[in-house]
Amino acid sequence: MSARLYNRLSSLGRLVVLLAAYSAILFLSLIIALLLRFDFQVAPEFWTRFWKSLVWLLPLKLVALAFFGQFRTLLTYFSLPDAKRIAGAMGASALIASIAWFVLGGTNVVPRGVIVSDMVISFLGLTAFRTALRVYREKLSAPVDGSTSSRKRRAAILGAGTAGAALLRDIQGRQGLGLDVVCFVDDDRAKIGGTLHGKQVLGPTRKLASLVEELDLQKIIIAMPTAKPAVIKRLVEQINALGVDHDILPSVAQLLHRQVTVSHLRRVDPEDLLGREAVSLDEEGISGLIKGKVVMVTGAGGSIGSELCRQIAEQNPSRLILVERSEPALFAIEQELIGSHRHVELVPCASSVCDEDSLSRVFAKHRPSLIFHAAAHKHVPLMEGQPAEAIRNNAIGTEIAARLAIQHGASKFILVSTDKAVNPTNVMGASKRLAELLLEQKSAASPECAFSAVRFGNVLGSSGSVVPTFRRQIAQGGPVTVTHPEVTRYFMSIPEAVGLILQSALQAKGGEIFVLDMGEPVKIVDLARQMIELSGFKPGEDIKITFTGLRPGEKLYEEPIHEMENVEPTSHPKLRRLRNNRSNGSGDLVAEVHAIYREAAGDGNRLKAWLTEKIPEYQGIKC
């Protein structure tokens, strides 16, 4: 039997079972309502009216259930939204039946009291039926090896809020997880002493040590997605000191609009400790910018590009074009979006922004209105020895994409830049500053398209960042290598950075550079220590930290703003606008960058000398 035929039979079988079960429940509820109305002494004439009403009243209620989606639902999954839909269906059918009573003057229709009682009894009967099926499913999903709750790992959920409650319900529905949640722990005095889904709420969290001992807790789950990083850090330190296994539910920014489930649980990452409070965005404005538009993301498979795709897909563009030269990365983000955003038309393009012919065909066919240009080389030491590749991809690729955006009527073009473009000491930063200058010339020459750039620092967990490197070194037993004890970097979470990129696109008028508020810089050695501690080791004892010295082109600290750039506030507190007061010289920079690449692609020192000429603040290091 084919899978398609099996699915058809399965759907038909579910429909038949639901139709039979619902019909029986609705029939019985109507009889009970009639009997209650007349104290179980129903006159013959009312039985006659009952049977005549049943002919149209039962189909009416079944049609209402179908309209409210209760024939498409899975039998054994039932929750509050389903109960609300059943209530809506019964209420709607009761309203129509009442109107029929008045139109017919009560003739051949059951009494009004029966209609009202039947609405309530039908709702109770249907919800009881669906709840019973859910309980039966949860019972069947328990392990068959005879394990009991005493053999499960006793767990507590930190946070008796909406996220914690949703997580408990999901855990209770997955008996095979081997978890027995025995309580919630919360600092809210109003909640302490109460119960949530049958589990007692204890607290405060400062008593966690005694609770672990008294309740024999073997696992703690932090379900506080809106908590500040300082709170998470304090809790993690407490739990680490107790030696108890622990997981965390991601932050609101990471969860976005996804439902809380067990599958979202993960180990505590540095992002949870170094991140900032959730950033409030102009969701309505961003939605208006993207909804129904054709949007292109270059570098769609990268850390920033893929998150751009996710957040843009949430805003319902008419088409989302994914430009990525890495086939595996392109396939991964395409498959993810197919699974999570089926309503969005996706156009995967295995192409490089440096391939003008290929990119031109994409622009001509789809004519994107918004372009988010995230394609770039970003690894500082690698690019230091390959200045031609850095210029080609980061600067020339940007120019090609920007020129095609003008030719095909795009309204906005947003370049994802970096704080390394300010007073650059490396080729990568200089090439990104060159890209910014190229966009400034494009903006001046073509005001019909708003060209803007967005600068920010390092992104936690992105490919090539220190976090994956440190994690790998810890797994290997160390040492963890840090370039210099005083080196600092700005860090942001990927969702926060991308949210502010979309916010800057909303405010872009053309010619601006936006800078994201990245908070305070973090010492890399402190990050290394925290990651070692999160892995259950002691820095300097179990895992050593060694200093290797700054690599070519690296700085001790980064600067998001040049001293000659004017800083202006925007309507968003986390976003600032820069206006350039520097003289960037005259002449056709586009022609010059193409010419120098053709002439000196094999001469790294000449390319660096040219970059120094065009970007005076850049002090190149010879190859």
Residues 292-305 pLDDT 10s: 999 999 999 998 99
Domain boundaries, the chain: 11-140, 149-268, 292-299+363-614
Place 4 in a pLDDT band, splitting at 50, 70 and 90. very low
Please identify which residue in the block is written with the tokens 């800083």.
567
Q: Do the beta carbons of residue 185 and residue 158 sit within 8 Å?
A: yes
b/e string for 179-194 if b means 16 or more Cβ within 10 A? bbbbbbbbeeeebbee
- List phi, psi (to 5°) of 234: -60, -45
Hunting for tokens 């965390």 — which residue is that?
248
Q: Give the chain's length.
A: 623
Whole-number Å distance between alpha carbons of 391 and 397? 8
Residues paired with residue 295 on neighbouring β-strands, in sequence order:
320, 370
Q: What is the mean pLDDT of residues 224-232?
A: 80
Q: Would you state the pLDDT for residue 538? A: 82
Q: Give the mean model confidence (pLDDT) for residues 279-289.
A: 85
- Give one word for 40, left, alpha or beta, with left for phi > 0 and alpha for psi -120 to 50: left
Each residue's pLDDT tens digit, 46-59: 888 888 888 888 88
Choose the most confident range, by mean pLDDT, from 146-155, 400-409, 454-463: 400-409
**Architecture of the 292-299+363-614 domain:** 3-Layer(aba) Sandwich (3.40)
Is there a catalytic annotation at residue 420? yes
- Alpha-carbon gap, residue 603 to 606, rounded angstroms: 5
Residue 281 has pLDDT above 90, yes or no: no
Determine which one of 219, 420, 555, 574 is catalytic: 420
User: Which residues does 297 contact at the CB level (< 8 Å), separation at least 6?
Assistant: 305, 308, 309, 312, 320, 321, 322, 323, 371, 372, 374
- Report pLDDT digits (tens) over 392-414: 999 999 999 999 999 999 999 99
Place of tokens 């892995």: 535
Superfamily, domain 149-268: NAD(P)-binding Rossmann-like Domain (3.40.50.720)
Band of pLDDT at residue 254, cut at 50, 70 and 90: low
Q: What is the mean pLDDT of the chain?
A: 83
Q: In this predicted structure, which of 343-347, 407-411, 514-518, 605-609 has the lowest mean pLDDT?
A: 514-518
Other beta carbons within 10 angstroms of residue 151's beta carbon come to: 11
The model's pTM is 0.64
User: pLDDT value at position 564?
Assistant: 63
Q: Which DSSP state fits 333? A: H
How far apart, in Å, are the Cα atoms of 180 and each of 199, 215, 216, 323?
A: 11, 12, 11, 46
Q: Rounded mean pLDDT of 416-425?
A: 88
Residue 259 has pLDDT above 60, yes or no: no
Per-residue pLDDT, averaged over 423-444, amounts to: 92
Confidence at residue 370, expressed as pLDDT on a 0 to 100 scale: 97
pLDDT of residue 5: 41
**Averaged pLDDT for residues 517-531:** 82
Alpha carbons 410 and 419: distance in angstroms, whole number: 26
Q: How far apart are CA 361 and CA 350, in angstroms?
A: 12
Region 128-140: mean pLDDT is 72
Quote the tokens at residue 37: 């109305």
**CATH topology agreement for domains 149-268 and 292-299+363-614:** yes
Alpha helices in 418-462 (DSSP H): 427-445
